[in-house]
């Protein structure tokens, strides 16, 4: 029987979602907990991979079990067993070929910047003292992303992908007082893509890069032409959409 699990996690203490040698990951932590509580070997497949230090306010994964689970009971047991930085929200029983990663049709991220210093936001924002920033110009540049599909210039080097094409459906900045948030949605994302886009758009907001240069950076398909990647701690995976309805009943 195949189940989806909806969860959230604070990525501060993890080297990303995916299991890797000599590193502490969210996937490994969940698999150990599920295996122990369900008394069978559980392998979990996530909806994507978040890098080290990146958070997820909404994340889906799937796993298979022999027998039907008590969903409410398992939510309680998992949350009691797991560390405080991972929270289980819901379980969904789906058809056997449902896939958390390959069935996803849209993913959304937010990147949060605090223009100043706040010790209570240290773990969840990138904090900067550069308050003079042209948000309107950054939004003008962000709209250019809709004109392109190949985003190799924002991808981590030496990544193993068949294509660098992504369809971006939303990209915009919003400022709320000292908090500056970048919202972006696409059918898929390349590794490091959002953080590289944010870094490059900030260069535009600070007057280091022009709109015309931004377009040339995308067309160059060269990572060295784009801006530096911003810190992971300000990045949140916030929404995953599927072509079917997830019903927790």
Which sequence positions are flagged as catalytic? Answer: 51
The answer to whether 47 and 241 have CB atoms below 8 angstroms apart is no
Q: Taking a C-beta distance cutoff of 8 angstroms, is the pair 16, 26 a contact?
A: yes
CB 62 within 8 A of CB 242: no
CB count within 10 Å of CB 138 equals: 24
What is the C-alpha to C-alpha distance for residues 145 and 246, in angstroms, rounded to an integer?
30
The CB density around residue 130, as the number of other CB atoms within 10 Å, is: 10
Handedness of CA 226, 54, 189, 112 (dihedral sign): negative
Check: CB of residue 136 under 8 Å from CB of residue 173.
Answer: no
Q: Are strands 55-64 and 126-128 parallel, antiparallel or unpaired?
A: unpaired
Q: Pick from 180, 241, 234: which is nearest to 55 by CA?
A: 234
Q: CA 241 → CA 38, 155, 244, distances in Å?
A: 28, 23, 9
Shortest CA distance to 53 belongs to which of 23, 6, 12, 81?
A: 12
**How many CB atoms sit inside 10 A of residue 234's CB?**
25
């Amino acid at each position: 029987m195949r189940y989806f699990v909806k969860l959230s996690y604070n990525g501060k203490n993890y080297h990303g979602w995916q299991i890797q040698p000599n590193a502490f990951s969210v996937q490994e932590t969940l698999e150990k907990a599920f295996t122990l509580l369900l008394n069978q070997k559980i392998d979990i497949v996530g909806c994507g991979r978040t890098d080290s230090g990146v958070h997820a306010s909404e994340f889906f994964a799937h796993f298979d079990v022999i027998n039907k689970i008590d969903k409410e009971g398992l939510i309680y047991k998992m949350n009691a067993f797991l560390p405080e930085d991972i929270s289980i929200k819901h379980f969904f029983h789906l058809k056997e070929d449902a896939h958390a990663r390959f069935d996803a049709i849209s993913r959304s991220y937010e990147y949060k910047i605090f223009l100043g210093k706040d010790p209570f936001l240290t773990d969840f924002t990138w904090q900067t003292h550069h308050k003079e920033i042209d948000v309107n110009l950054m939004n003008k540049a962000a709209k250019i992303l809709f004109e392109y599909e190949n985003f190799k210039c924002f991808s981590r080097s030496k990544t193993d992908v068949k294509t660098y094409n992504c369809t971006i459906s939303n990209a915009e900045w919003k400022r709320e007082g000292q908090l500056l948030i970048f919202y972006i949605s696409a059918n898929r994302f390349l590794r490091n893509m959002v953080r590289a886009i944010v870094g490059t758009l900030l260069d535009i907001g600070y007057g280091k890069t022009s709109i015309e240069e931004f377009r040339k950076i995308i067309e160059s398909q060269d990572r060295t032409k784009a801006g530096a990647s911003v810190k992971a701690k300000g990045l949140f995976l916030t929404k995953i959409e599927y072509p079917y309805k997830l019903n927790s009943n």
